[in-house]
Structure 1
Amino acid sequence: MPVLNETHNPDLRSWVSSANSPETDFPIQNLPFAEFRRKYTGESFRGGVAIGDQVLDLAAAQTIFSGKAAFGASACAESTLNTFMSMGSSVWSALRLALSRALREGAKEQSELEHCLIAQSDVEFSLPCTIGDYTDFYTSVFHATRVGSLFRPDNPLLPNYKWVPIGYHGRSSSIDVSGQTFKRPQGQVKAADAAEPSVGPCKRLDYELEVGIYIGEGNAPGEPIALDDSDQHVFGYCLFNDWSARDIQAWEYQPLGPFLAKNFASTVSPWIVTNEALLPYRTEFKRDAADPQPLPYLSSDTNSEEGALDIKLEVLLQTQQMRTHNEPPAKLSESNFVYSYWTVAQMVAHHTVNGCNLRPGDFFGSGTQSGPEHEQGGSMLELSRGGKESVSLPNGEQRTFVEDGDTVVMRGYCEKEGVARIGFGEVVSTVLPANN
């Protein structure tokens, strides 16, 4: 298991001055990875690390490293991070340590690395890796109960929910990076008072506030990953908006679950915050004593003591009218990943208990992360109580679901006394009108 080390020291400062701001998402204690290139160029995408408001170009900087860090930096120069992710935690940690030392105040590498920095405002991003397979979990018991009460009022929470981390296999081809725009999906729907279904544009388009989990080193077919070994396989985390067509979903989801309601668009934030960077924000995993306790393969002292992650999450909405009047996005809700009913380690252990082999770049969605209070809902479906109540925006506009031209912004960060603030940046995506 990874342990706290010198890279987590909250007193570290960087010679990149913007990394020392208390409000930055990207202090020297973070050092997340992404694939980027300069805007408006034909450059190849390559790996970079965020430091303050800059990106350190790893393709340009790779010659300063040695040993395992050099192998990692060379892999990061590729157009995806898959090779680097496959190298395992010893290489990930070695490169993180080398980057931390080279970017600290007084580092001898400063003169060599200064020309390898590019302002984040001058770059564009691609997906950080090729996502081979994508599994969406359903780990917020508060979201599951509220949504279940809308679809199944007499039986909102199915009996397996508290025994097994529920998930379904989604479609990776429509996952895109922050800045994604997509056309409103069309599909088959059936109104409650209609004799038969019809095909048309979705009328109940929704977002889902999720945490994304990237798998690094995989496992062989037939070889499950033990609960306490999951840290050797989880590379890092991002913010994830899993767009959903609720009216299509209501008609199609029985008996096999989500299909066209979920596979038209999903959006990830560009930066992968590494598993190691988040160690200071591990916290106790709590399960109500009255609930079923996890089966042995999903239970350990380590998971109970520090299996949860304290990540603060928020959703904002900017309408077309707000953009026209230069008004900022309005906050819709706040939640926290600590409310998750299942930990990431439990997701990994359960996903592989049957012998399923994970591969570098595979992706998990956490499921919508809603808190215990109504105003902490991670979807418009919850906030509008199934479309029955409008959500009021500061400019007087009303929403029950997402409309054409709306931009949804999600942000996340970790923050507590005595520890460096770790941010995720943001994930932004915009809905366009459906095809005629």
Structure 2
Amino acid sequence: MTSWVRDPAFARDQPFGPQTLPYGVVDAGDGPRVAVRLGDHALPLRSIAHDLGDLADLVSGSSLDPLLAATRVEWSALRARLVSLVTESSTPSGAELLPLSDVRAVLPFTVGDYVDFYCSRYHAENVGRIMRPDTEPLLPNWTHLPVGYHGRSGTVVVSGTPVERPHGQRRGPEFGPTGRLDVEAEVGFVCGGPVSRRVPTGQAAEHIFGVVLVNDWSARDIQGWEYQPLGPFLGKSFATSISAWVTPLDALAMARVKVPDIGHPRLPYLVEDSPWGLDLRLAIEWNGSVVSRPMFADMSYSCAQQLAHMTVNGATVRPGDLFASGTVSGPSKEQRGCFLELSWGGREPITVGDTERTFLEDGDTVVITATAPGEDGSVVGISPVEGTILPAVDL
């Protein structure tokens, strides 16, 4: 490939080449600016506004909010224009290329509603066996609908933000910092387009702008005490980390696959005319050691089915809404997407470098990465999500 971008990481066989072009917001000390990622560099789009024509207003501000409020037609037109610009041999006039090491990534959009699903059959069955060993691992409704719950959008943070160990009630009852702090490797979907209700599966692309990775941090001892009979609350609402860069849905056209069979026909509103499962390959690093490699293609419900379900009762989807897939797990131990599963409820220690762990300790760092297949054998990247655990504060 001939391009004015002189960065070895900006290549079709690298995750953040011209086939990906994720959007983010960076601050180089002069305020936040919308940018697109080119390899290990950021290109602030304000610097090439004259080359973007009437699309420039969507990306000339300090967040992705105006872009999310646009339409699928505008999203696709902007992406096509950017692909053309970054693959030209001559540098666009005024283009400013900033090393990622010289900028600070900030939360790229205003998060509206946040919904978290629970759509990996392997994860749900494993958790059922761990938490309810004397009952059926799947509850009767699980194969009929995408189970989900409302989260706390105010605690969604950008990748790299430290996570403070939370307090809460534990079985006993007793109160204090969690002793079973966990991760959940998930895929998140950033919504945009017009405010709508009852979005059918065939219109998902009009309302899903792009994809991020999500770490829905979980305090398992707090969750285990509070979640019956209702769903997650304090055990999950203290922090949810997302990628700093949003990979456009258009970049994942070659990654679409059918979701697995659930054993019976789906209700009509959950039927897809075309497949919306995604072949994303995740990896979870714990203090630099890869401890799991989940496959998103194993999920039992797609993003289109999740969006259809969360709006079928008349609830709206708005620009900036975020919904997450739920923990991504697979059939083998090496594909489990959280430490509750990997350690089987804390009974089977996990090898992390030269130590053994069950749950997170203060100072631990977790990084979740993912890639997908792209056109002509290229690799599409989903920006990593990272977090380091801080000690609990004294109350």
Pick the TM interval, shorter chain: over 0.9
Q: Answer yes or no: is 1:14 the counterpart of 2:14.
A: no
**Separation in 2 of the partners of 1:23 and 1:425?**
16
What's the secondary structure of 1:112's corresponding residue?
A: coil
Q: Who is 2:98 aligned against? A: 118
Which of 76, 81, 85 aligns to 1:93? It is 76
Identify if the C-alpha distance between structure 1 residues 416 and 82 changes in structure 2 by more than 3 Å, giving closer, same or farther: closer
Q: Answer yes or no: is 1:104 the counterpart of 2:87.
A: yes
Which of 279, 295, 301 aligns to 1:310? It is 279
CA drift at 1:13? 4.7
Which of 233, 238, 254 aligns to 1:259? It is 233
Which of 222, 227, 243 aligns to 1:248? It is 222
**Separation in 2 of the partners of 1:393 and 1:144?**
25
Identify if the C-alpha distance between structure 1 residues 351 and 35 changes in structure 2 by more than 3 Å, giving closer, same or farther: same
Q: Who is 1:419 aligned against? A: 377
Give the aligned CA root-mean-square deviation in angstroms.
1.5
Q: Answer yes or no: is 1:64 the counterpart of 2:45.
A: no
1:29-428 matches, cutoff 5 A: 29-38=19-28, 41=29, 43-66=30-53, 70-71=54-55, 73-106=56-89, 110-113=91-94, 115-153=95-133, 154-190=135-171, 196-220=172-196, 223-288=197-262, 291-302=263-274, 306-318=275-287, 329-395=288-354, 397-415=355-373, 418-428=376-386
What's the secondary structure of 2:254's corresponding residue?
A: helix
CA drift at 1:336? 1.2
What's the secondary structure of 1:278's corresponding residue?
A: helix
What's the secondary structure of 2:386's corresponding residue?
A: strand
5+ unaligned residues in a row in structure 1: which ranges? 1-11, 191-195, 319-328
What's the secondary structure of 2:35's corresponding residue?
A: strand
**Separation in 2 of the partners of 1:105 and 1:93?**
19
5+ unaligned residues in a row in structure 2: which ranges? none
CA drift at 1:286? 2.8
Residue identity matched to 1:295:
L
Question: Matched residue pairs, number?
Answer: 392
**Separation in 2 of the partners of 1:79 and 1:111?**
21
Residue identity matched to 1:287:
D
Q: Contact between 1:224 and 1:355, CA under 8 Å: does it hold in 2?
A: yes
CA drift at 1:425? 2.8
**Separation in 2 of the partners of 1:417 and 1:358?**
30
CA drift at 1:21? 3.5
Q: Contact between 1:14 and 1:20, CA under 8 Å: does it hold in 2?
A: no
Residue identity matched to 1:235:
F
**Separation in 2 of the partners of 1:285 and 1:187?**
37
CA drift at 1:76? 1.5
**Separation in 2 of the partners of 1:95 and 1:281?**
21
The percent of aligned pairs where both chains have the same amino acid is 41
Q: Contact between 1:34 and 1:49, CA under 8 Å: does it hold in 2?
A: yes
What's the secondary structure of 2:294's corresponding residue?
A: strand
CA drift at 1:226? 1.1
CA drift at 1:217? 1.2
CA drift at 1:337? 0.9
CA drift at 1:161? 0.4
TM-score, normalised to structure 2, is 0.96
What's the secondary structure of 1:408's corresponding residue?
A: strand
What's the secondary structure of 1:80's corresponding residue?
A: coil
